[in-house]
């Protein structure tokens, strides 16, 4: 199966049609995605600010990480599931959207950044756990993490405003009577 056929199959699935054709489903899924991303960024911000030595410096990093990272993973699962649900509703348009692809690339970079931290400074956390900030590699990872996640947020917002995703196709007017029928 080629990519175009896979994307068409996803869009034609009963789940995608249900989300796309129900007046409240897509906004609820999208709201769940925004909440998930907000929680992901908020919990990562706590970790990164601690690594940089800008906040919570009197608490050991390991304690903060133990308390916060479980929420990061729960929020990431929510964001991933809701993001996938939004994707299937218009898979071809999202797949061909430059901002969407850039966002996915940044998510991969976020994962690689996390792996880099895990194989460098996280392994030696007991030697710097109570210090004000992480060693240089940990601070670099934290700064990169903040930049990457801010990029994910910005690109995620721009996905909806890419030329292919805005408004009706050229020459096609919005049918306000049909819209009124849907809202009744």
> Which DSSP state fits 175?
-
Report how far residue 57's alpha carbon sits from residue 117's, in angstroms, rounded to the nearest whole number.
Answer: 19
Half-sphere exposure of 50 (CA within 13 A, CB side): 25
Per residue in 27-66, pLDDT (tens digit) is 999 999 999 999 999 999 999 999 999 999 999 999 999 9
Question: What residues have CB less than 8 Å from 166, skipping those under 6 apart?
Answer: 160
Nearest to 86 by CA among 161, 159, 150: 159
Per residue in 85-139, pLDDT (tens digit) is 999 999 999 999 999 999 999 999 999 999 999 998 888 888 899 999 999 999 9
- Specify the pTM: 0.83
Instruction: Check residue 175 and give its pLDDT.
Output: 61
Residue 172 has pLDDT above 90, yes or no: no
CA angle 62, 64, 69 (to 5 degrees): 95
């Amino acid at each position: 199966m080629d990519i175009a056929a896979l994307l068409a199959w996803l869009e034609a699935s009963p789940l995608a049609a249900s989300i796309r054709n129900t007046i409240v489903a897509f906004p609820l899924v999208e709201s769940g995605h925004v909440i998930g991303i907000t929680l992901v960024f908020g919990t990562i911000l706590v970790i990164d600010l601690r690594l940089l030595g800008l906040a919570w410096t009197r608490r050991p990093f390991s304690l903060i990480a133990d308390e916060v990272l479980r929420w990061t993973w729960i929020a990431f699962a929510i964001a991933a599931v809701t993001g996938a649900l939004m994707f299937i509703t218009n898979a071809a348009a999202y797949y061909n959207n430059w901002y969407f692809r850039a966002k996915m690339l940044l998510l991969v970079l976020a994962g690689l950044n996390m792996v880099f931290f895990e194989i460098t400074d996280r392994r030696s956390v007991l030697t710097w756990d109570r210090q004000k900030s992480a060693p240089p590699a940990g601070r670099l990872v934290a700064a990169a993490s903040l930049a990457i996640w801010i990029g994910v947020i910005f690109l995620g917002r721009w996905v909806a405003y890419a030329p292919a995703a805005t408004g009706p196709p050229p020459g096609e007017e919005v049918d306000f009577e049909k819209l009124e029928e849907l809202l009744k």
